[in-house]
Amino acid sequence: MFKWIHRFGSPPFVYRLSGRIAPVLGVLCLILMLTGLYLGLVVAPADYEQGDSYRIIFVHVPAAWMSMFVYVVMAVSSAIFLIWKMKLADIVAQASAPIGASFTFIALMSGSLWGKPMWGTWWVWDARLTSELLLLFLYLGYIALRNAIEHPQLAARTAAILAVVGVVNIPIIHFSVDWWNTLHQPATITKFDKPSMHPSMLKPLLIMVVAFQLLYFYNLLVRVRSGILQREKRAAWVAKELEN
């Protein structure tokens, strides 16, 4: 019954499949990104209180969400690698780390740029900001740890343990604004309540969220493909694949 799932453990199969899917994701992402940016930066009205400064939300919120989503993907595939010794899961985790770190950096930077005029400070050590900074350090720590250990298998296992354990930080980031009082505002969009945002602003935001999601998967597939080639460079199928 689960026979089909084993095909996703086969590097040649995944290499060819992702080669076909990646360009589609890339084009879709570009279209949605341009639509979202146009609707968000040009069409959407200014905010009653913040004026045009609020438009940073169209980059900040998707980036912040993706920073957490990518980490969860990294932690889950690291766990799969630790338990089932599936090499491809390790490649996914390794490929995700720099992408996640970039999303985290974008979220922190854009938030800081918005914070100076709105709050009156670039940075404050409240629970939300601090835990998001910790997430950036987790990503960087994962990358550094992998590069610090010379033995590839040992490096993969050690880094995977760090990724799995670090997942504890994710609920802390998410609930920090509810558990403690912070300068950062609570969530605008929640699953159970109606969003505290006007539909004309919400639509571009949701488009940008989908675009960022596609951006991640596009980058992931491209990086996974090069990861597969790197590790399988001595395999016969790679030589054959690169010939055509």
Partner 1 sequence: MKPKRKQRLILVSLMVAGVALAVTFGLIAFNQNIMLFQSPSDVAAGNMEAGQRFRIGGMVVDGSVQRRDTNLDVQFSLTDHASTVPVTYNGILPDLFREGQGIVALGKLDDKGVFVASEVLAKHDENYMPPEVAEALEKAGKMPGTAANYGNTTLVQP
- For position 5 contacting partner 1 by CB under 8 A, the verdict is no
Q: What's the rounded Cα separation, in Å, for the pair 182 and 221? A: 37
Exactly one of 201, 208, 209, 238 binds partner 1 (CB under 8 A); that residue is 201
Backbone conformation region of residue 4, classed left if phi is above 0, alpha if psi is from -120 to 50, else beta: alpha
Q: What's the rounded Cα separation, in Å, for the pair 221 and 229? A: 12
Q: Is 121 helix (H, G, I), strand (E, B) or coil?
A: coil
Of 117-125, 139-147, 148-156, 233-241, the window that binds partner 1 (rule: CB under 8 A) is: 117-125
- For position 197 contacting partner 1 by CB under 8 A, the verdict is yes
- Tokens standing for 141? 């720590």
Residues sharing a CB contact under 8 Å with residue 94, sequence separation 6 or more, in sequence order? 146, 156, 159, 227
Exactly one of 37, 124, 145, 229 binds partner 1 (CB under 8 A); that residue is 124
Exactly one of 93, 97, 127, 224 binds partner 1 (CB under 8 A); that residue is 127
Residues sharing a CB contact under 8 Å with residue 93, sequence separation 6 or more, in sequence order? 73, 74, 77, 78, 81, 159, 160, 163
**Which residues within the stretch 15-74 sit at the binding site for partner 1 (CB under 8 A)?**
45-50, 54, 57
Give whichever of 125 and 192 is closer to partner 1, judged by the CB atom. 125
Give whichever of 11 and 204 is closer to partner 1, judged by the CB atom. 204
**Contact (CB, 8 A) for 58 and 40:** yes
**Contact (CB, 8 A) for 145 and 153:** no
**Contact (CB, 8 A) for 141 and 162:** yes
- List the one residue out of 201, 215, 164, 181 whose CA is nearest residue 31: 215
- For position 153 contacting partner 1 by CB under 8 A, the verdict is no
Exactly one of 161, 233, 237, 240 binds partner 1 (CB under 8 A); that residue is 161
**Which residues within the stretch 173-192 sit at the binding site for partner 1 (CB under 8 A)?**
180-183, 185-188
Shortest Cβ 17–partner 1 spacing (Å): 26
- For position 112 contacting partner 1 by CB under 8 A, the verdict is no
How far, in Å, are 30, 50, 72, 153, 227 from residue 171 at the CA level?
Answer: 31, 29, 10, 30, 30
Give whichever of 197 and 222 is closer to partner 1, judged by the CB atom. 197
- For position 165 contacting partner 1 by CB under 8 A, the verdict is yes
Shortest Cβ 117–partner 1 spacing (Å): 6
- List the one residue out of 79, 77, 14 whose CA is nearest residue 222: 14
Exactly one of 31, 83, 144, 154 binds partner 1 (CB under 8 A); that residue is 83
Binding positions for partner 1, rule: CB under 8 A: 45-50, 54, 57, 79, 82-84, 117-121, 124-127, 161, 164-165, 167-168, 172, 180-183, 185-188, 196-198, 200-201
